[in-house]
Amino acid sequence: MENAYQPELWRDAYVVLGTAAAGLIGLLFVVISIHLDEISNNRVYRIRARNNLFYLFVMVVEATLVLIPQLMRVLGIEIAVVGMCLLMLHGRNLYAFAYKNRDIGSSGGFQAYTALRFIISDLLAIAGGVLLIESSNWGLYVMTASYIVFLGSVILNAWLIMLGVGQSGKTAKAG
């Protein structure tokens, strides 16, 4: 295989990944609207819900970038830039919730490993972008691994929101 960036080989995978992210955006909107009071009254859940919507949108954009016919190096630059921007955001979130505002982070069940999963995904995206810039056959494989880790992290984050809302609902009913 002389060049792994052959759009026809990656098309189906990124159509599925982009569609999954777009479908999850719709589901997240439904869940947020059903539990709007609980989420809007808890700062951490509100931030998580907003971030999850943003992350899913970024995933749709990344899938679109892979599907757009373009030079492998241009795709690599785009993916690396997105990864670096997300790394700065997740680094800031780790600092804000784990060190600066521990009381806010603990009220929503924030733990450092939550941010670390996102940071690992960001580093994989940057590495995948660099490999694509260097015309390496491994670039999209690393990028896809990043995408899957990121998607799993977003799903787990959504699950933690639902657990927290469910627990606060039980507490409200008991009171």
| Mean pLDDT computed over 4-31 | 87
Long-range contacts formed by 77-80: CB under 8 A, 24+ apart: 77/129, 77/133, 78/129, 79/125, 79/126, 79/128, 79/129, 79/132, 79/143, 80/125, 80/126, 80/128, 80/129, 80/130, 80/132, 80/133
CB 22 within 8 A of CB 60: yes
pLDDT at 103 over 60: no
Per-residue pLDDT at 2: 54
Q: For residue 101, is pLDDT > 70?
A: no
More confident residue, 127 or 109: 127
What is the per-residue pLDDT for 54? 94
Q: Specify whether the CB–CB gap between 105 and 97 falls below 8 A.
A: yes
139 has pLDDT over 60: yes
Q: Is the pLDDT of residue 94 over 50?
A: yes
pLDDT (0 to 100) of residue 20: 94
Domain residue ranges of the chain, discontinuous segments joined by +: 7-174
Rounded Cα distance, 74 and 66, in Å: 10
pLDDT mean over 45-68: 92
